[in-house]
Chains A and B, each alone.
Chain A
Amino acid sequence: MAEKTLDCLGEACPVPLIRTQRALSELAVGDLLIVQIDHSCAMKNIPEWANKTGHNFEIQEVDDGQWEIAIERGH
């Protein structure tokens, strides 16, 4: 199970989501993508997208205004 980190710090909406979608499509099923964001919109719209498309995810607040979203490619 490979793990990839995607640094989206400082990116404006909707760049983190678009980059997440692209990065996840390049991973194999079962791989883990860890997206680092500091955009308050992204901490909502990325999990929403992951959930809608059927991927498991977890979000954790790692610092003031900074989150990490771990997404496991489900299919």
Chain B
Amino acid sequence: MTTLATPQSIRRPLRAPAVRKERASQLPWALVLLALVVAAGFYLVRAGGSPKFAFIWAIGIALGLTLQRARFCFTASMRDPVLTGSTSLTKAVVVGLAVGTVGFSAIQLAAYLKTGQLADAMKLAGLEPVGMHTVVGGFLFGLGAVIAGGCASGTLMRMGEGFLQQWLVIPFFILGSAIGAVTWPIWKAAFHVQPKGGVYVPMALGGFAPALVLQFGLLLAVYLLADWWGRRSARRAR
């Protein structure tokens, strides 16, 4: 969040500074909304019977706020390397994945050390079946996200920012999800999906150490690749 001295500051301005249009600040609305958010939190605790629900709600708010404040776009992280040669978001996503790995593996490791069973660590991992369906599904998802102008998180964030296009995306996103669920028997057979077929890397490699080495090694490789690609595109563009 620190700002840097830029070459711009010592250059002559390109045009006369435009005065921002006079408008009432939106901050009062933000405060009203904040009060409603807090009220909703209390309601959720009462309705759900546990403070956990207010915590989850708060995390959701924080996630949306962070996405918007940083202009964070996962779609752009995947799309820009190809479309514009920019990898700044890609590298940021890799860093996010690395931080996530540190935190998640700490939680998993704690569970493992408690009982000595890798299976207990596995329960805390976001495990899902892997197979051809992952490839096809991931491909379709990436394609749809670029066309729609945002992925799952991006769509929700932009709904909050006032993009009516994303308000149109979401009902079709829901419809597509329902269609995906209803057609499950068809693609389950077509791709030979194993509903319990998740692969937990520490279990596959026989321990946390090899898994973490591989994970951080791969993440570093992706980061370096993205960095190289970004520099290369910048050089070519100049």
Direct contact of A and B (CB under 8 A): yes
- Residues of chain A within 8 A of B71, CB atoms compared: 40-41, 43-44
**A13 CB-CB contact with B under 8 Å:** yes
Q: Which of A58, A61, A62, A63 contacts B8 (CB 8 A)?
A: A58
> A60–B17 contact, CB under 8 A?
yes
**How far is A21 from B86 in the complex, measured between Cα atoms in Å?**
13
Q: Contact string, A33-75, partner B, CB cutoff 8 A, digits 1/0?
A: 0100000110111001100111011101111110010101001
* Interface contact B15-A32, CB-CB below 8 Å: yes
- Determine whether the beta carbon of A52 is less than 8 Å from that of B86: yes
The yes or no answer to A18 lying at the interface (CB within 8 A) is: yes
Total interface residues in chain B, CB < 8 Å = 33
Judge whether B84 and A17 touch: CB under 8 Å.
Answer: yes
Q: Is A12 an interface residue (CB 8 A)?
A: yes
Closest residue of A by beta carbon distance from B83: A14
Q: Chain B residues with Cβ under 8 A from A45's Cβ?
A: 76, 80, 84, 86
Residues of chain A contacted by B165 (CB below 8 angstroms)? 12
Q: How far is the CA of A22 from the CA of B162 in the complex (A)?
A: 27
Give residues in A with beta carbon < 8 Å to B: 12-14, 17-18, 21, 32, 34, 40-41, 43-45, 48-49, 52-54, 56-58, 60-65, 68, 70, 72, 75
In addition to A40-B161, A41-B71, 17 A-B residue pairs with Cβ atoms within 8 Å of each other are A12-B165, A13-B73, A32-B14, A40-B68, A41-B73, A53-B237, A53-B238, A54-B238, A58-B8, A61-B20, A63-B20, A63-B21, A63-B23, A65-B161, A65-B162, A70-B14, A75-B238
